[in-house]
Amino acid sequence: VEFLYCDLASMKSIRQFVQRFRAKNCPLHVLVNNAGVMLVPERKTEDGFEEHFGLNYLGHFLLTNLLLDTLKQSGTHSHNARIITVSSATHYVGKLHLNDLQSRCSYSPHGAYAQSKLALVLFTYRLQHLLTANGSHVTANVVDPGVVNTELYKHVFWAVKVAKWMTAWLFFKTPEEGASTSIYAAVSPEMEGAGGCYLYNEKRTKSADVAYDEDLQRRLWTESCKMVGISDESSRVP
């Protein structure tokens, strides 16, 4: 195992990471987008993005796009390269505010978190559409890990922390259990060649209705490209 530093809250760090990775001339068969913050107080990344949207979504959007060429070169007809993005059931209540993606008008930690997780689902579906249109041997899927007992809950209200401490053994998944669906998406033969799926408990399930809005997927993709400073190659694809 070899570690390379990458701060998903920093566009500069992401670009530096990709440069270091490419310099190794390694293939890339699996990319798991799993970083995240939850319910943090209103604050910005070094690039000026609201932290939930900047780290949870834009960081992964840029990282994935910068690594796409390597993924495409690594995938084959019989063994596709795989992109797995970790969302959350909170995306079901999320609303995408295209005119206020940074939550400047009215900040809500819950709303900002849910929006970032909905954006990840929209991103995955649009990405799979583009990969299919280009005939790439790469698949993109999105995973709901469930409610997992991790440090992600450190910003919740103290009463919730107490309740979590008392009931985690009964209602929360262990980190190992929470990772199982991501691992399934990454290595299962059943997922070979399958993309554009929303997975929960190692099964394909339906995401929020709004996530299937192709116009919203396109508009978010275009706006995301502008925000992270990359060209929008998707403009030529319906």
Active site residues: 113
Kindly state the greatest CA–CA separation across the chain: 53
Start-to-end CA distance of the chain, whole Å, equals 40
> By C-alpha distance, which of 110, 179, 120 is closest to 149?
179
Query: Per DSSP, which regions of the chain are E strands?
Result: 30-33, 81-86, 138-144, 198-200, 203-205
* Residues 6 or more apart in contact with residue 222 via CB below 8 angstroms: 232, 234, 235
What is the rounded CA–CA span in Å between residue 35 and residue 13? 14
| Edge-to-edge strands, sheet with 30-33 | 30-33, 81-86, 138-144, 198-200, 203-205
Length of the chain: 238
What is the rounded CA–CA span in Å between residue 187 and residue 95? 32
